[in-house]
Structure 1
């Protein structure tokens, strides 16, 4: 039996069917109100977007979820964790300022922001999961302590994970720096032939593990924490990992962390994926490239694996947009083919689905129900 995944398209021809009204209906139809109790502390997990990016979930949409949670008598708060890399969300002060600048202030969303891992990522708990890669996982305190959670994810591509949806939002987004480092076990290397000495990697490295010598980047493996930001900003793709040996393990570790984020909240988590502005990169980068496919819709489920699988299938079935990263790197990608793998052939985003099912995070079989 497949898990139920609810889908709303983006068509609107009257006030009764505008996106706000349809989103509130999606919340109700998916049954999220059933696990919300009076005075419950409800985490609304989302990504506030890196400064320079505009691909994050619209704060006006977030307000609808906040209001629905309040209608059930619960107490919502918006939350995310600080980043492993340097940027506009490295600590709680910068993170909250970025969130407010992106429209997530109380006047718009109607809920306070609590950065889940504390001022300097010190608020964390160990969660037992007893899986292949991790016996325990480190999860941000405010997320672990919340009574229940609504996870709002912008569905898009990712440099290492292939794609980012509910599973990745749980995994990286619910972990403090210790947990992020545990997932990022990869160690990049520099191809001297490709390196142009631009210094972009030096600027973004949070551990100052990269230096320039004779106009070539050098990575100190003893200092590198494997966050992968250097790979993201390298214009010539001179920095890479050993894709054959490391990326599958990375994806499995990430999926185990997603499991850890919700293992203590059985039947108390709802997921909404926004398959809108499907950019080729994560919202962690300080830009937003053109969407690789036309906007598809908004989907909801109580099963993150089924939800991500449904979103992946819908993106793959869609026609690709022209003049995009997809068209540039895989101009012959056909409808039905894996668009994320076409953009980045070494990624294995499908492992999020298959391994997520294997460890009990969810079900890859789903029933798509349009509302």
Structure 2
């Protein structure tokens, strides 16, 4: 198979070219405007608006670059995401829109409207048959599937379940309706290590399914109610919650790849990833920790798989940031994301994506 082209530029600027201008040049050089006909077409630009309190999400200025390029070509762009499975500031369309606006993603700052793809309560979905190994019928937010063209604008960062969050995570998990997210998460159920639990109730406050109870200040998880979203794992301050199954995170990655296939098939698509503010956790958290590595640069490709691999390879060449979680954990696997979250395996998502024909793990990096 011929290597996929991934285009890259650093965050270095000059007096003649700032970062938005450099991103514009990257996108144009990568061929998005030449290879996709935007005239009178609806273009979904999938982005993460960031949980309230999180400050590592992409600035809306970057979204405006993509929006303006699409509009210049006669297209009709909109920014979009789907509601979350967990309790937070983006669990329904009203809260989600308020969060997006508060974080700067308004029509006035970005030049286009924001549509929450799966509707008011996360139930406005389209069933997309794919007959995959793990998913037979993906549940995707309707507005995403109604678009003629799909563009992903990704903040590349660490993730407690998938190793990192890049293009595949932003597309597959991000475009799933609430029921779709539940389907992707339900392969493994977490449990509480009683000797570590301090009874802080952070897990209880963040469980959207009333699956957590307390006995003598120790948390217990009812697996009949638990959907396996892993939110309790992420919010526990003492790592007292862990997954029951070693294979759960791999299966989650496989399902994300198949959901990504459902989103992208049979229509033009393009992908942009910014490797900056590489926080150890997802932007779904209501906080962001010290980045685990320095900022790397901006990447773009028609192949989301090659894009993720190129970003991971570039990130793994970076030094560890002093004072970060990664420095605390130490280097054992020669992989910054595996070292940050030892129970994850980001390569499983890539391998399955290649297996199902979603993209290519071999890439040619073109620096501009």
Under a length normalisation based on structure 1, what TM-score does the superposition of the two structures give?
0.96
* Aligned counterpart in structure 1 of residue 225 of structure 2, from 204, 223, 226: 223
| Shift of residue 121, structure 1, vs aligned partner | 1.1
Paired with 1:238 and 1:36, the residues of 2 have a C-alpha distance of: 51
Question: Does structure 2 conserve the Cα–Cα contact (< 8 Å) formed by 1:209 and 1:220?
Answer: yes
Once the two structures are superposed, what CA deviation does each residue of 1:256-278 show, in whole Å capped at 9, x if it has no partner?
1111111132xx11100010111
CA contact (8 A) 2:325 2:340 kept: yes
Distance 1:304 1:220 in 2: 37
Which residue in the other structure is 1:346 paired with? 343
Instruction: Tell me the alpha carbon deviations over residues 279-330 of structure 1, each in whole angstroms, 9 at most, x when there is no partner.
Output: 1000000001111111110000000000000000001011111100100111
- Cα deviation for residue 37 of structure 1 reads 2.5
Q: Distance in 1 between matches of 2:18 and 2:311?
A: 21
Flag as ranges the 4+ runs of structure 1 deviating above 4 A. none
Q: Is the 8 A contact 1:53 1:287 kept in 2?
A: yes
Match of 2:201 among 195, 199, 223: 199
Provide, for residues 68-107 of structure 1, a one-character-per-residue CA deviation record: whole Å limited to 9, x for no partner.
Answer: 0000100000000000001000000000000000000111
- Deviation per CA, 1:115-170, whole angstroms, max 9, x where unpaired? 00001112111111111111211111000110001100000110110111000001
Asked if the contact 2:250–2:349 (Cα under 8 Å) also holds between the matched residues in 1, the reply is no
Q: Which residue of 2 aligns with 1:154?
A: 155
Tell me the equivalent position of 2:192.
190
Cross-structure match for 1:67: 68
Selected match of 1:234 from 236, 241, 249: 236
Between the aligned partners of 1:82 and 1:5, the Cα distance in structure 2 is 30
Partner of 1:356: 353
Q: 1:324 to 1:243 in 2, by over 3 A?
A: farther
The answer on whether the counterparts of 1:333 and 1:339 sit within 8 Å (CA) in structure 2 is no
* 1:14-29 paired onto structure 2 within 5 Å: 14-15=15-16, 17-29=17-29
Residues 256-335 of structure 1: matches in 2 within 5 Å? 256-265=258-267, 268-330=268-330, 332=331
- Give the equivalent residue in structure 2 for 1:113: 114
Unaligned runs of 5+ in 1: none
1:174 is the counterpart of 2:175: yes
In structure 1, the residue matched to 2:256 is: 254
SS at match of 2:116: coil
Conserved? CA contact 1:36–1:69, under 8 Å: no
Moved more, 149-158 or 218-227: 218-227
Q: Supply the distance in 2 between the matched residues of 1:320 and 1:36 (Cα, whole angstroms).
A: 42
| Alpha-carbon distance in structure 1 between the residues aligned to 2:165 and 2:278 | 10
CA drift of 1:245 comes to 3.1
Q: Find the counterpart in structure 2 of residue 53 from structure 1.
A: 54
CA distance in 1, matches of 2:315, 2:28: 25
In the TM superposition, residue 56 of structure 1 has moved relative to its aligned partner by 0.9
SS at match of 2:284: coil
Are the aligned partners of 1:81 and 1:174 in contact in 2 as well (CA < 8 Å)?
A: yes
RMSD: 1.1
Distance in 2, Cα, partners of 1:252 & 1:106:
35
Aligned mates of 2:20, 2:60 — CA distance in 1: 11
Aligned to 1:141: 142
Compared CA separation, residues 204 and 368, structure 1 to 2 (3 A)? same
TM norm structure 2: 0.97
Aligned length: 365
Distance 2:289 2:328 in 1: 12
**Distance change in 2, residues 1:257/1:173 (3 Å):** same
Verify the 8 A CA contact 1:310 1:368 in the aligned structure 2: yes
Aligned counterpart, 2:362: 365
CA-to-partner distance for each residue in 1:160-201, whole Å, 9 max, x for gaps? Answer: 101110000011100001110110012111111111111000
After superposition, the Cα gap between the structure-2 partners of 1:246 and 1:28, relative to the gap in structure 1 and judged at 3 Å, is same
Deviation of 1:333 (Å): 5.5
